[in-house]
Amino acid sequence: MEVQGKIKMIDETKTYGNNGFRKREVVITTEEQYPQHLMIEFVQDKTDLLNNFQVGQNVKIQINLRGREWTNPQGETKYFNSIQGWRIENIDQSVSNDMPPVPPADAFEPANDFNEEDHDDLPF
């Protein structure tokens, strides 16, 4: 799956436990009728992927949905969901590299000598 949006916040990398589990969170705001603020976590070596990004950039993030079950000491079962990113790319950069530049409108000359009868090649 993937999500697109503008980076609103990038958190610092945090380390947890004795094994050195690393996690870094990023919040993106989607651009739709009702914008959503989505918190996406990058874990372990994927935390470094966020080093080249900054607030305000438009990005596309490849994600996996994660869910887990937990039973509290009172015996109640709780469920938690998370969005885990594994790839991120700058949309603005990919658009400019994939598509040739569009010339400005004033770079074209108007067709003043156009005669519709000469160019009508429709069969009806």
Domain residue limits, the chain: 2-97
pLDDT score for 71: 96
Q: What are phi and psi of 12, to 5 degrees?
A: -75, 160
Q: Which residue has the tokens 């994939």?
A: 98
- Of all residues in the chain, the percent with pLDDT exceeding 70 is 74
Tell me: the pLDDT tens digits for 94-109?
544 455 555 665 556 6
* Neighbouring C-beta atoms of residue 122, cutoff 10 Å: 5
- The model's pTM: 0.69
Structure tokens, 122: 């429709």
pLDDT score for 92: 80
What CATH topology corresponds to 2-97?
OB fold (Dihydrolipoamide Acetyltransferase, E2P) (2.40.50)
pLDDT score for 112: 64
pLDDT score for 56: 94
